Amino acid sequence: MATSRGFGIAQFERAFDEFFDEMLIDRWKCGTPALEFERGQVIDHRDRYEVRVAAAGVDPAKIQAEVSGQRLAVRVPDKLGGTLESSFAFSDSIDGEASTAKWSEGTLVITLPKKKGRRIALKDS
């Protein structure tokens, strides 16, 4: 008898969680850029990376992009007053000073030039 009772509670908890997710959380997310925002596209060119992030409905003035070493973080405000963030890691170091960002029709396009390696000349000792 205890097994069937425990099973019933588990079913109730699962149904309650699904109801909460569908009826409340999904409604709050409706119209926010979260789903599109998280689908960033990275194109690896020989000399640069190009990152395209769809963020329809977001004020471009409130978008923050930060480059550090081999990483890019993009932050946008959500409709609940919080912040959504996507981060990208690259195999090559990025020239943060030469990086650019452009906003076009609900899409953020960030161009990240790859840092060029520096050859070291050997000296006779």
Count CB atoms within 10 A of the CB of residue 22. Answer: 10
Q: Give yes or no for a contact between 39 and 20, defined as CB atoms under 8 angstroms apart.
A: no
Query: What CATH code would you report for 34-113?
Result: 2.60.40.790
Question: Residue 20 — pLDDT band, cuts 50, 70, 90?
Answer: low
- pLDDT of 73 over the 90 cut: yes
Dihedral angle sign, alpha carbons of residues 27, 32, 37, 39? positive
Instruction: List, for residues 38-52, the tens digit of each pLDDT value.
Output: 678 999 999 999 999
Q: Give yes or no for a contact between 100 and 33, defined as CB atoms under 8 angstroms apart.
A: no
Q: pTM, whole model, 2 decimals?
A: 0.65
Percent of the chain with pLDDT over 70: 74
Q: Give yes or no for a contact between 72 and 112, defined as CB atoms under 8 angstroms apart.
A: yes
Does an H or E element contain 15, and which? helix 2-20
